[in-house]
Each structure stands twice: as structure tokens, then as C-alpha cells.
Amino acid sequence: MKLWIIAVSLTLLSGYVYAETPEEKGLAIAVEADKRDSGFGDFTAHMTMTLSNRQGEKSVRKLRVKTLEVEGDGDKSLSIFDEPRDIKGTAMLTFSHALKPDEQWLYLPALKRVKRISSKNKSGPFMGSEFAYEDLSSQEVEKYSYKHLRDEKTDGQDSFVVERVPAYKHSGYSRMITWIDKEHYRPLKIDFFDRKNELLKTLVFENYRQYLDKYWRADRMLMQNHQTGKSTLLEWRDYRFRTGLSDRDFNKNTLKRAR
Amino acid sequence: MIRLLVLLLLPLQAVCAWEVSGYIEPELRLFAEEGLQAGQERTNVSLAIQPEFVHQRGSYQFVFTPFARIDQQDDERTHVDVRELYWLYAGDDWEVQAGIGRVFWGVTESQHLVDIINQTDLVENIDTEDKLGQPMIRLSLVRDWGIVDAFILPGFRERTWPGEKGRLRYPLVVDAGAAEYESGQKQWHVDWALRWTQSWGDWEIGVAHFSGTSREPQLSPGVDKGGRLVLIPYYPLIDQTSLDLQAVKGDWLWKLEAISRDGQGPKRYSAATAGFEYTLVGVNESAVDVGLVVEYLWDERGSDALTPFQDDVMAGVRITLNDEQSTEALMGLISDLEYASNSFSIEASRRLYDRFKVNIEARFFDSNEPRDLAWGFRKDDYLQMSLAWYF
């Protein structure tokens, strides 16, 4: 990560001398966004997912999330499921990585069993929703290559429009187009394109709130699948930062006793 | 029962925050044929309930999970158990648990050789995945080099067995009340166990040792108080050392469980389960995952083994739709390579209306070999349907 910052700082400095390519500009925006969001340490939050199908039928999932920021690697996280009731107590421990498969363990309370699961493929649906695992995992600069396309206003805010191509070869996407606001470098909207390069989903971030006077988090994330007509609304509440979590809160013991 | 529990716990609830959840599950079993034994019916209705009471405060947890089943036909399957009743304290890098608990060890799917702490609640299901609560004191240490769990296990739980009218049993009924033990302290012998587990990148490893009364009894013919011919269980003292390994290589999971046991039978013996699970992720660009499970089951004792899985192969297919209803199914065939004996099973489940879950299970047995333990089940093919309501 640090090398990136140096490289980009040099690029930015040299930008005064010669014109920046779209790729350089795209990367610089991603690095700046990453810089502004790093150093949060840890957070806990409650998440409600509302799944809707084309007929408007809804089902709800509730979970609690604990995340620890890891310098120079993907974050560690522990998710505990509260609803639906049949999976209450199920918990998932993830050590995410940018370019290699995540390490993931699932705790099944009915059998008291911890299962190490294969997580090479991050493109599968999370809890039957329109979010894939890779959409919810920590966003590292190294996960994509970037290209700045244009600047435009979205939802009344001046934004950079940047194309991202996943560097992870097992990603479910060929590319994404992201709208990032110029003032705070927050994602406002993402278009996801499937492996056949057809528009698959659009994610819109709403109700941003700032924590610790620095870190922006959206209260609402709405994912719409254009191909199936299904959508998932993700609502976050009770964000708490720097709660004192450490490495010791993320192991198979904490996974088993998570309730 | 539940009302009584609620009444008992209501005052507690007023004092501190108790979280109550659980399920009630009516179940119907339909057998394809008349049983081999007189009095075995072709249909059976049953009802199970398992509430869970949890109190958490800071680093403390208190958990109480009673279980009860009422069975139409089998008096032995009508039973009550305390699955969990423990207090747990979590320190920074250690935890201690005291009370009645449930522990699972191992990685394979077809059988669970390494999993030895809890006794099997066999009347629940012959898949041996239902377990009785075990009294224990457990100390766990988390270190960079792995997690170590030390167990002291006072008090032994006897295996449950189907009664006279129960299906899926041996030709003779097991007289659990007449159980014999190697230890002079009988079920009050204090067992112990130690386990170390570690994850290294793609690898998961577990090494354990257990010393105490075997959870697996030897059954020998005898006569009960009423003069009937029955099977009498004998629980010897054993020492078992085990290894379980799992490697994650892309979409492949490689698994091994191996045990070496001394004290059960004339000499020390080994047994193992080894195999893989390969997952085809997102078949045809859909969300559906299809997993292929193949495992080989081996027991050194051959036909003298207490298990029917002495030289068997399990091949299974797991289908996960990854849909809103979490629909999944597992089909598996276990085939005995030595005897002409096969068993096939299907387990499927799907959520309904957020609070319900439908489970379907079917097992088919085919055995032409009286020496194989599956011989006794050859007329017990069944279809089971249940609907669980979660609260």
C-alpha cells in the first residue's frame, strides 16, 4: 500500500510537468479514496438486508458485523446472523485478501461445527441476495485496475466517473463503472457488468454519514439487478468505530461463541 | 414442558436480559415395508422442541438448551435431554466453560470418527449427528501457534437406543439400563481430552487425544430381568489419538480423519475417512452450486468392526440453490466394497415464510449380507418429512 502511495505521489507531482493518462488519473482517485478511508481501526454495525423479487415479495435478513482494519491486507471480519430465525447463531469469519482467495470459516450452531469453506469464488450471492460476496468484502486499491472516463454530475454532486477492471481472476465481473464524488471521494453509484460485458446490476449509496469527523458510511445501499428484476436494500445502523477490537477477536473461538 | 420452562425462567428474565429462541418440529416418518420385528408400525408421528435461553453480559455467557421429543410409537424415542446448560467466561486470549456442553470435532461428511466428546443420541437419527449434552469443564487457550482445548469430562452419557416398537434397530432390543462398564466407577469415571487446532494458509489441522469411557459400546446378547433375549452394552475404557486435516485448494476441499484407538477389542486399531469435496460454483452462469463429495471409509478391524463402515465408499452430490429460501439438497450413496450392501440417502431443506423450514429425508437400505451391520435395517427404508417453526 505504501509503495502505491509513493508511486502515486510521484505521479501526482510529475502531473504538473506532463499530462496524466486516464489510467493514472483513475488510480490516483482510487488511492485518494483509500487514503481518506484508512486508519478507521475497527467498527461494529448492524445490517438489515431486504430482498425483493420482481413480484415485490420481500424477505429480511439481519446480521451484526465486526470489522478490523488490517494494514497492507484485506480486513478481518466476523458476521453473526440473527434472522431468518432458522439460521440464527450462524456466524462467518473472513480474512479477506486483495488478490488471493479469502480465508473463510462458517460456524453452524445446530451441529456446533466450524467449517472451513472454499472462498476462491467470491462472485456467489450473499444469503440469497443481489449482493455477491465480492461486493461486500473490503475494498483494496490492488483489487482493480482503473481508468478515469469523464467528470459529470450525479444526483447533484460533481463526480469522477472511473472504470474499474477486477484484477482477481475469479471475479464475477468484467468491469464496473463507479461514480465518486469530488468533494469527499465517496462512491455514489456503481454499475456492474457481467462476464459477457452486459449491464448486470446497479448499486446506489444513499444517506452518507460521517463518523469520527473523517469516515463516511452510507446508511442505505440499494442493489438492483437489471437482468432478473430483483433488488436488495442494505440498511446499516449503530455504526461504532474504534471499539477496541484486535486480532484476538477474530479466531475460531470467537466465531463459536459469537451470539 | 415449554410453559413450565417459561414459568421457571420468567423471574430470571425480569432480572437480566435473556434471549429466547428455538424451534418446534412435527415430524412424519413413513416406512416402505412392514418391519422385521413384531409391533413395528409403518407410520410414525413425532414432535420435537428445542428452546434456547441465552444470557450475555460482558465477557460472560450463560446458555440453556433443553430438548424434548414425543414419539407416537417408540417409548425410547420419547425422551428429554439437556443439550446445553453452561456458563462461559471469555478472556482476552482464553476462555473457560463449565456445565453441560456440545462440541464438534472433524471435517468429513460421511461419518465423524474424530468427534468423540459427546454421546450419540441414536434414537433421533441413525446419521449419528444428534448428540447428548456432556458435562464438562473446558479451558481454551488461543496462541499464535494454534488453539488448545483441555477438557475434564465428569459423568458419562449412555447411548440412546430404539425401543421394542422402534424401527431402525437390531433384531434384539438394547437394554440400556443393564449397561456394563470397564471402569469400577461406571458412569462416574472422569474422562479427559486435549485438542490442538491450527490454520496455516490453505490448511486446517487438528490433533487430539481422549482418555476415558468409550462412547461406542460393544453389544453382546444377554437376558434381561423379564427373561427376554436382549443386547447388553459394554463400555470399555479407551485411549484414542486422532488427526483431522483439511486443505482448501481452489474449489477443492481435501479431507482426512484418522484415529488410533486402544482398549476397545483385543488390540489397538486404526480407522480413517478420507476424501474430497469439489464444488462447481455457479453452474451455467446461475447462482446454483453443485458439490461432489467422495469419501472412503476404512476400519482396520474389518468385519469385526462395531461400525458398518469398514471398507466403504461414499459418493454424494450437494446442490445449493443460493436462493432466498436457502434451498439445498444432499444425496449420498454409501456402498460396502466387501459385502453387497448399500445405503442411499437424500436430505433436502427449504425455508418457508421466514419462520418455517421444510425438511425431507429419505433413506434406503439394501443388504444381502447377514454379517454386515446394515442387514438389520434392510426392511427399514423410510421417508421423513418435518416442518420446523422457529421462534
pLDDT higher than 50, residue B321:
yes
Residues 152-191 in B contacting A (C-alpha not used; CB under 8 Å):
none
pLDDT at position B78 = 97
What is the distance in angstroms between the Cα of B315 and the nearest Cα belonging to chain A?
A: 19
Mutation for testing the B interface, residue in A58, A123, A257, A259 having most B CBs under 10 Å? A257
Confidence of residue B330 (pLDDT cuts 50, 70, 90): very high
Do the strands B229-235 and B180-181 form a parallel or antiparallel pair, or are they unpaired? parallel
- B103 shares contact with chain A (CB less than 8 Å): yes
pLDDT at position A99 = 80
pLDDT at position B282 = 86
pLDDT higher than 70, residue B53:
yes
Average pLDDT, chain B: 92
Q: How many CA atoms lie within 13 A of A254 on its CB side?
A: 20
A60: nearest CA partner in chain B: B354
Q: How many CB atoms lie within 10 A of CB B378?
A: 18
Query: Exposure of A253 by Cβ count < 10 A (0-12 exposed, 13-18 middle, 19+ buried)?
Result: buried
Does the residue A47 lie in any domain? yes
Report the residue from A53, A89, A248 with minimal CB separation from B142. Answer: A248
Summarize the confidence of residues B175-184 as an average pLDDT. Answer: 94
Place of cell 443460493: B322
B202: nearest CA partner in chain A: A103
pLDDT at position A14 = 55
pLDDT higher than 80, residue B13:
no
Does the residue A2 lie in any domain? no
- A195 shares contact with chain B (CB less than 8 Å): yes
pLDDT at position A155 = 86
pLDDT at position B102 = 97
Does the residue A73 lie in any domain? yes
Per-residue model confidence as pLDDT tens digits over B88-144: 999 999 999 999 999 999 999 999 999 999 999 999 999 999 999 999 999 999 999
Q: What is the CATH number of the domain that holds A154?
A: 2.50.20.10
pLDDT higher than 70, residue B9:
no
Mutation for testing the A interface, residue in B324, B325, B347 having most A CBs under 10 Å? B324
Q: Which domain holds residue A237?
A: 22-257
Per-10-residue mean pLDDT of chain A, 259 residues long, equals: 57 61 95 93 97 92 96 92 95 89 93 90 88 88 94 93 92 95 96 96 97 96 96 97 94 93
Q: How many domains does chain A have?
A: 1
A82: nearest CA partner in chain B: B21
Chain A residues within an 8 Å CB radius of B147: 251-253
A86: nearest CA partner in chain B: B390
CB contact under 8 A, B61 and A111: no
pLDDT at position A140 = 86
User: To 5 degrees, how large is the angle CA B307–CA B309–CA B312?
Assistant: 170
Does the residue A10 lie in any domain? no
**CB under 8 A, 24+ apart: contacts of A104-110:** A105/A252, A105/A255, A107/A255, A107/A256, A107/A258
CB contact under 8 A, B282 and A123: yes
Three-state DSSP class for residue B178: helix
- A72 shares contact with chain B (CB less than 8 Å): no
Chain B residues within an 8 Å CB radius of A113: 104
Report the C-alpha gap between B332 and B334 in whole angstroms. 7
pLDDT at position A1 = 47
CB contact under 8 A, B285 and A195: yes
Structure ipTM: 0.92
CB contact under 8 A, A257 and B61: yes
pLDDT higher than 60, residue B265:
yes
What is the distance in angstroms between the Cα of A227 and the nearest Cα belonging to chain B?
A: 12
CB contact under 8 A, B199 and A60: no
Does the residue A15 lie in any domain? no
Does the residue A139 lie in any domain? yes
Report the residue from B93, B287, B388 with minimal CB separation from A124. Answer: B287
Best CA proximity match to B364, nearest among B39, B33, B45, B72:
B33
Summarize the confidence of residues B232-254 as an average pLDDT. Answer: 96
